Amino acid sequence: MRSIWRTLDRGLLRDIALVCLADGVVGISYGAISVGGGLQFWVPVALSLLVFAGASQFLFVGIVAAAGSPVAATIAGLLVNARHVAFGLAVSEVIGGGWRRLPGSHLMTDENVAFALGQEDLRQKRAAYWACGIGIFIFWNLGTVIGAAAGSVIADTDVFGLDAAFPAVLLALVLPALRDRSTRTAALIGSVVALAATPFLPAGLPVLLALVGLLFYRSDKPALEAVR
């Protein structure tokens, strides 16, 4: 654990801390919304601990609080979380082998995957992934407990503009990768497809459809590949 702190420079650590803090505030609102919607204290808390995937948790409590079917809530949550398969393929080397795969997989979020992909070498990627994952896990769960216990402290984080902060976080983290032309083309086409599909498909599916953008991706070493 100590090597994580030594590998991370101070700037990156500060950036990660900011994201953790923001996640904690959203966690408070999530806990408050859940309890305010009539769910018992343990429901949002158990979801944060065991599922640990914000978007799917909001969806789940939204559906069951509106007296929807828990089966529908579970399926909707799984659909939203399906993107983690692709994340796992991209960061498996970062997570490492053996027992690390278990906690490392549970800690997988959009934010720490984006932080890891933005680093140069494997050591830095690994340190960013684990530090951000552990940090978010602590703050998200702490926030959930506080929000669920206190009830309606912060029900609406839109007032603070946090709904704009999270896309901006991910955007800032993926921008360096988008300087590569082929990746940018794939990402742009994928995003347009996702946006076009959003009005017609259930949550989670439009983002998965963005993967068709990969049809336009050419990896940058065709010559080398041909020589082999």
Residues from 15 through 34 that contact another protein (CB under 8 A):
15, 18-19, 22
How far is Cα 6 from Cα 39, in angstroms, rounded to an integer? 42
Phi, psi of 52 (to 5 degrees): 50, 55
Structure token pair of residue 73: 């809530």
List the alpha helices (DSSP H) in 96-215: 101-106, 110-117, 122-150, 162-178, 181-197, 205-209
Closest to another protein by CB, 17 or 142:
17
- The site string for another protein over 62-91 (x = CB under 8 A, - otherwise) reads --x--x--xx-xx--xx--xxxxxxxxxxx
How far is Cα 215 from Cα 208, in angstroms, rounded to an integer? 14
On whether the CB atoms of residues 206 and 195 are closer than 8 A, the answer is yes
Which of 1, 120, 161, 227 binds another protein (CB under 8 A)? It is 161
| Segment interacting with another protein, rule: CB under 8 A, options 2-10, 26-34, 108-116, 139-147 | 108-116
Closest to another protein by CB, 2 or 18:
18
Binders in 40-59 for another protein, by CB under 8 A: 43, 46-47, 50-53, 56
177 binds another protein (CB under 8 A): yes
| DSSP helix, strand, coil percent of the chain (3-state; round to 5) | 80, 0, 20
Q: How far is the CB of 126 from another protein (least distance, A)?
A: 13
In sequence order, what are the residues at sequence separation of 6 or more whose Cβ sits closer than 8 angstroms to the Cβ of residue 107?
52, 129, 130, 133, 134, 136, 137
- The site string for another protein over 109-148 (x = CB under 8 A, - otherwise) reads -x--xx--x-------------------------------
Which of 3, 5, 9, 14 binds another protein (CB under 8 A)? It is 14
Structure token pair of residue 58: 């909001």
Q: How many residues bind another protein (CB under 8 A)?
A: 95
Closest to another protein by CB, 2 or 28:
28
Quick one: 34 exposed, middle or buried, by C-beta within 10 A (0-12, 13-18, 19+)?
buried
Closest to another protein by CB, 2 or 223:
223
Binders in 209-228 for another protein, by CB under 8 A: 210-211, 213-214, 217, 219-221, 225
